[in-house]
């Protein structure tokens, strides 16, 4: 039986979007009806028509991005919605999947399955030299054929189909080791993030093209004739730094002349005017 599926995601630098697109293709191939939407542009009105939702997010500081939780809290849920989560992360998510599962359950959803997928770490790529080995290996990797990604997609498709007849809530078990490591990482990330947000600026290479202002998910950037201003609500999604056509946007000086990541397909282009506004 064909399922009506909503794939809802947020992606700062293209990793999560890449997975969401692959999932959409794989589920469509299985004859399901799939709607693929970024939270930045989707304000559900006919949410009820879906049998299940697949939610994708990047792991930030061993958790789901805070703004995504706020978005989910405002979804107009009138029936318990089965939900499958997929998250992309650089190296370690701690107890993120468990925290998210519990949160979704408390919001009236039925978490059925969750999957973490390792991708290039968007928090560190902009500090890499363009001619480094890591950059070379990322640029030459065929992410479509990459076995761990193919396996993750196949597993999520299988679990989505199994979830059709199932009602069992699944929240990943607590990883005891992650209590300490995850806690430490969260502490470190929070301190580093606070520091990085304050260091955003644009060099003279800026052409005032306005792209950064258009694609910033929190509407945090204002391009004036004389300067680029960064406000106080940065999500640190790394989109502006990576997408700036003249590579003018920097975090401090360590990112000057360094690598810019355009997503696994090398073609991530967040839609213009996609400014994220919280649901009313």
Binding site for ligand FMN (CB under 6 A): 11-17, 58-62, 88-93, 119-123, 185, 189, 193, 236-238
Other CB atoms within a 10 A radius of the CB of residue 206 amount to 18
The answer to whether 220 touches 233, Cβ cutoff 8 Å, is yes
The answer to whether 110 touches 80, Cβ cutoff 8 Å, is yes
- Kindly give the pairing relationship between strand 249-251 and strand 200-202: antiparallel
**Chain mean position to CA 196:** 19
C-beta of 181 vs 214, nearer to ligand FMN: 181
Minimum distance from residue 266 beta carbon to ligand FMN (Å): 13
Identify the CA nearest to 200 among candidates 171, 233, 172.
Answer: 233
Minimum distance from residue 48 beta carbon to ligand FMN (Å): 28
The answer to whether 87 touches 116, Cβ cutoff 8 Å, is yes
Minimum distance from residue 242 beta carbon to ligand FMN (Å): 9
C-beta of 94 vs 111, nearer to ligand FMN: 94
Burial class (CB in 10 A: 0-12, 13-18, 19+), 181: middle
Identify the CA nearest to 82 among candidates 195, 24, 6, 182.
Answer: 6
C-beta of 183 vs 257, nearer to ligand FMN: 183
C-beta of 7 vs 110, nearer to ligand FMN: 7
Minimum distance from residue 162 beta carbon to ligand FMN (Å): 26
Minimum distance from residue 121 beta carbon to ligand FMN (Å): 4
Under 8 Å CB-to-CB from 195, ≥6 apart: which residues?
none
C-beta of 60 vs 113, nearer to ligand FMN: 60
Minimum distance from residue 179 beta carbon to ligand FMN (Å): 15
C-beta of 96 vs 202, nearer to ligand FMN: 96
């Amino acid at each position: 039986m064909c399922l009506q599926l909503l794939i809802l995601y947020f992606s700062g630098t293209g990793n999560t979007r890449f997975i969401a697109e692959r999932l959409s293709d794989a589920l469509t191939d299985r004859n399901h009806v799939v709607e693929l939407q970024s939270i930045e542009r989707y304000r559900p009105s006919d949410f009820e028509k879906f049998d299940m939702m697949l939610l994708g997010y990047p792991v930030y500081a061993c958790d789901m991005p805070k703004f995504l939780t706020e978005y989910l809290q405002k979804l107009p849920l009138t029936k318990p919605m089965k939900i499958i989560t997929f998250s992309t992360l650089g190296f370690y998510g701690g107890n993120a999947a468990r925290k998210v599962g519990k949160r979704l359950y408390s919001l009236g959803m039925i978490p059925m399955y969750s999957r973490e997928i390792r991708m290039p770490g968007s928090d560190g790529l902009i500090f890499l030299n363009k001619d480094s080995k890591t950059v070379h290996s990322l640029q030459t990797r065929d992410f479509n054929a990459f076995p761990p990604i193919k396996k993750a997609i196949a597993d999520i498709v299988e679990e989505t189909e199994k979830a059709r007849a199932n009602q069992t809530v699944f929240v990943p078990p607590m990883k005891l080791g992650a209590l300490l490591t995850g806690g430490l990482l969260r502490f470190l990330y929070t301190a580093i993030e606070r520091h990085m947000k304050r260091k955003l600026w644009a060099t003279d290479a800026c052409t005032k093209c306005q792209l950064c202002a258009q694609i910033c998910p929190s509407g945090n950037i204002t391009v004036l004739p004389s300067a680029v201003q960064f406000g106080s609500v940065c999500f640190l999604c790394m989109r502006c730094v990576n997408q700036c056509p003249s590579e003018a946007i920097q975090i401090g000086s360590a990112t000057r002349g360094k690598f810019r990541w355009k997503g696994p397909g090398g073609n991530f282009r967040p839609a213009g005017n996609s400014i994220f506004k919280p649901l009313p």
